[in-house]
Structure 1
Amino acid sequence: MTAMKYSFSVYLCLVTALLLGAFPGETRAVDELPSWNEGLAKSAIIDFVTRVTDEQGTGFVPVRDRIAVFDNDGTLWSEQPMYFQAYFVLDRLKRAPQQNQDRKWDLSVFAALKGDFAKALAGGEKGLVNMVTAAHAGMTTEEFEAAVKEWIATARHPQTGRLFTQMVYQPMLELLQYLRANGFKTYIVSGGGIEFLRPWAEQVYGVPPEQVIGSSVKTKFELRDEKPVLVRLAELNVINDKAEKPVSINSFIGRRPIAAFGNSDGDFEMLQWVTTGPGPRFGLIVHHTDGAREFAYDRNSAFGRLDKGLDEAETRGWTVVDMKSEWKTIYPDIE
């Protein structure tokens, strides 16, 4: 009887120890950001989320106000040696019939057709959007969506050989999921084309079409073969970059987000506006410092230039992520 009691008490001790994590090496909590090294950036993210979700704390934010906005190019996926949408546009331009190439296009379009991509994209987002309008004017929104889906399913990066959708950042995918698991609604606020992003953003990022904000062209309603369609025009509607980002956020969302994530000076005004609101705020900049696993660039880059944001991040309380030291991995593992 004594032996039986002893055995049962030992069993209870073992169970209790396991439940409390008393054994060396036992982990009490699951790491929801496993691709992030332990450091200032990871701690800042977790501290912020913990603060705004603590119902007993002074920094608690109701779920309705937990909104986070993310830039896309250079923040959620790579953007070198040029914006990925530019590859799509150039591919479409090369397929354009000669009669379409004789249109009165922007000089950046003709430069692209001649292979002078540096000149074609010297205007940044504006140059890219100009090429978008040239390549896709006259298409219906359904035709454009089909073209994007076809291209994104097979097109590969010229340097890495990966599908472009395989060049998303694994740490940022984890961050998106971590925020949503804690009641955040996540939006993409990009300088890239809204209709380029929407067909695949939900599958890759978990962000539905209605939560994607971007640059756009004007469209018009038409009847084609007695069927109502929306037709893309060769005219810009909005270039969603720099100071336009907070304007578009206000127009589309109607609430000021409490967290913003970017990587370039094109995101400066968005970060500035989001982080100066009342209550708990969080701003983060992805700094591209890893030339071996990705691309190293900042102040002098033609794409994703980070200068002012790098200088002012500390005084504004923004977290700067050093990709080389703070990310265990860059891209998702693929077979």
Structure 2
Amino acid sequence: MKNPRVPQFLAAAMVAFAALAADSRAADPLPSWNEGPRKAAILAFVEKTTTEGSPDYTPPADRIATFDNDGTLWTEHPMYTQMAFVIDRIKTLAAEHPEWKTQQPYQAVLENDHKALAAAGEKGLIELLMATHAGMTTTEFEQIVTDWFATARHPRFQRPYTECVFQPMVELLAYLRANGFKTYIVSGGGIEFMRPMTLQVYGIPSEQVIGSSIKTQFEIRDGKPVLMRLPEVNFIDDKEGKPVGINQFIGKRPLAAFGNSAGDRQMLQWTAAGQGARLMMLVFHDDATREYAYGPADGQPKSLFGAFPQDLMDEANTQGWQVIRMKDDWSRVFPFDK
């Protein structure tokens, strides 16, 4: 005769096993990171800076981590997200500016002439930025950006740009905050372009976003105070500007800094120069199947956006900075990946 208690025992064992498996998964704060030296470096850094009694223990008030945005927290190809916004805005505003049909760099945008657009260089880019970012109040610009994020789609992934974020980095942000770190975005992108989405997407409030900016001016319009966005550059938060922005807006040297390109070099150098435990990491895009592959470090294709030159790779290897190789270190790239 069959023992009626066996099925009950097996059922209980299966439940217990499932619970243990769930606990194991829950215990891993970085489930989208493959086991390896990069994940181990993150875990070790957090443990030694947050464990009381450790020689590298750092009080919560000094636990600062800074992150570049484009190419570090979300995809920056086939072009920077803000550039896609600029192009869409030029096309939207073109009906009000018939002269743009024969005037560069606007003509290049309207005709999708990427070669002519690239030839316009930094001067042309600034002209496009001013035409699409200035001449309105800060409130009006915020609404335009918010509406665009709600409707725009990435050309390859056909997802909202706000979904084209790197899941491993989102996990890293949450893990650091859970251990008393304050996380900041320090990006060459426009500060008021990023702020409308950073809390929802990254859990980073607007006051912890540092970026490039144009000048604003206080005015009274229709009896109400407003801040008008002027067609003048105020601050470029890139390269040497990043440590300057960190000092000006945070007032403390980061314990950890994360980037992905030559534009982040000085931020990592500034972070590394501090005393005690430090963590400097660079995301290297080498996975054309799941995202994109570009460098030109280590023989990857050259890139107009987020270039990672060989001398940066050499500096990282010499200085002991961690290089996150997307293909090897991440089991999952985007939140929508299986």
Give the 3-state SS of the residue equivalent to 1:82 in structure 2. Answer: coil
1:330 maps to a residue whose letter is V
Task: Show structure 1 runs of 5+ residues with no match.
Answer: 1-17
Residue 322 of structure 1 aligns with which residue? 325
Contact 2:25 2:31 in 1 (8 A): no
In structure 2, distance between residues paired with 1:118 and 1:219: 33
Deviations, residues 51-73 of structure 1 (Å, cap 9, x unaligned): 10011110101111100000000
Contact 2:239 2:262 in 1 (8 A): yes
CA RMSD between the two structures: 2.6
Structure 2 residue 236 is the aligned partner of structure 1 residue 239: yes
Task: Show structure 2 runs of 5+ residues with no match.
Answer: 1-15, 297-301
Residue 36 of structure 1 aligns with which residue? 33
Task: Return 151-160 or 126-135, whichever deviates more.
Answer: 126-135
Contact 1:70 1:188 in 2 (8 A): yes
In structure 2, distance between residues paired with 1:111 and 1:197: 26
Structure 2 residue 230 is the aligned partner of structure 1 residue 230: no
1:227 maps to a residue whose letter is K
Give the 3-state SS of the residue equivalent to 2:27 in structure 1. Answer: coil
Structure 2 residue 210 is the aligned partner of structure 1 residue 213: yes
TM-score computed with the length of structure 2 as normaliser: 0.86
Contact 1:290 1:296 in 2 (8 A): yes
**Aligned partner (choices 304, 307, 319) of residue 305 of structure 1:** 307
Residue 333 of structure 1 aligns with which residue? 336
Describe the shift of the 1:201–1:278 C-alpha distance in structure 2 as closer, same or farther (beyond 3 A). same
Q: State, as a whole percentage, how many aligned pairs show the same letter.
A: 55
**Aligned partner (choices 277, 301, 319) of residue 280 of structure 1:** 277
Task: Return 27-36 or 237-246, whichever deviates more.
Answer: 27-36
Residue 10 of structure 2 aligns with which residue? none
In structure 1, distance between residues paired with 2:45 and 2:221: 52
Describe the shift of the 1:109–1:282 C-alpha distance in structure 2 as closer, same or farther (beyond 3 A). farther
Structure 2 residue 97 is the aligned partner of structure 1 residue 94: no
Contact 1:170 1:330 in 2 (8 A): yes
Contact 1:69 1:189 in 2 (8 A): yes
Deviation at 1:238, TM superposition (A): 1.4
Deviations, residues 104-151 of structure 1 (Å, cap 9, x unaligned): xx9544533342234435677776454221113211100000001101
Describe the shift of the 1:204–1:226 C-alpha distance in structure 2 as closer, same or farther (beyond 3 A). same
Task: Return 24-33 or 243-252, whichever deviates more.
Answer: 24-33
Describe the shift of the 1:231–1:63 C-alpha distance in structure 2 as closer, same or farther (beyond 3 A). same
Contact 1:65 1:255 in 2 (8 A): yes
1:302 maps to a residue whose letter is L
Deviations, residues 147-186 of structure 1 (Å, cap 9, x unaligned): 0110101110111111111100000000000000000000
Describe the shift of the 1:109–1:283 C-alpha distance in structure 2 as closer, same or farther (beyond 3 A). farther
Give the 3-state SS of the residue equivalent to 1:314 in structure 2. Answer: helix
1:304 maps to a residue whose letter is G
Deviation at 1:333, TM superposition (A): 2.5
Map 1:3-82; keep pairs closer than 5 Å.
Answer: 27=24, 30-82=27-79
Deviation at 1:221, TM superposition (A): 1.3
2:42 maps to a residue whose letter is I
Map 1:255-270; keep pairs closer than 5 Å.
Answer: 255-270=252-267
Map 1:163-182; keep pairs closer than 5 Å.
Answer: 163-182=160-179
Map 1:48-197; keep pairs closer than 5 Å.
Answer: 48-97=45-94, 100=97, 102=99, 107-121=104-118, 128-197=125-194
TM-score computed with the length of structure 1 as normaliser: 0.87
In structure 2, distance between residues paired with 1:191 and 1:56: 38
Contact 1:126 1:239 in 2 (8 A): no
Describe the shift of the 1:248–1:319 C-alpha distance in structure 2 as closer, same or farther (beyond 3 A). same
In structure 2, distance between residues paired with 1:175 and 1:333: 17
